[in-house]
Amino acid sequence: MIGLVLAGGKSSRLGQDKTRVVHEGQTLLTRTATLLERHVDQVYLSCRHTPDADGPWPVITDETERIGPAGGIITALRKFEKPIFVLACDLPFMEDSIIERLMDAREKRPHDCVLTTWQLKDSGFIENLVAIYEPKSLPLLEDGVARGIFKLSRLIPAELRHTLIYTEDERRHFFNVNYPADLKQLQGR
């Protein structure tokens, strides 16, 4: 399995490059890539442009133009034709146990499921950026994007998703840094 850290966003909502935000002595990008590499064969960074990322991990430049995370996932699935464990770079409280549970769930997924991911119990929100995409998800992603649909939650039908439920008690693991208020919360201000 390949690990893919999504680090190609513009960080426009945050107002600064979130990959370079430092938390507990390391950047969010380094923390995420280091965490993921403990669980997969190889980690790659998905970026819009090669200079967007630092570190020892190879970079995959998106082959698509401005379609968000779907572009990085499509590019990686085309390149490797293997399952891709996708993890957003801005999850400062993600833990090994969450990754391990997702990988275990993937092994038990129904045969026709092409996506294994987390779902918030109360709202039904799907964590498409903490997920494992199977090679068979590629045609669905490509077809949706060709039709102008870029939101990942709309590209893979519910019947082809294998989801693990998480509760409000576990929500902290999925906290991401998108806005200045999120950064202040992370920094305890």
Per-residue pLDDT, averaged over 31-40, amounts to 94
Distance, in Å, from the CA atom of 181 to the CA atom of 189, rounded to the nearest integer, reads 9
* Residue-level pLDDT at 14: 45
- Tell how far CA 96 is from the center of its chain: 15
Q: How many Cβ atoms from other residues are within 10 Å of residue 53's Cβ?
A: 24
User: How do residues 85-135 score in pLDDT, each as one tens digit?
Assistant: 999 988 989 999 999 999 999 999 999 999 999 999 988 899 999 999 999
Distance, in Å, from the CA atom of 67 to the CA atom of 155, rounded to the nearest integer, reads 13
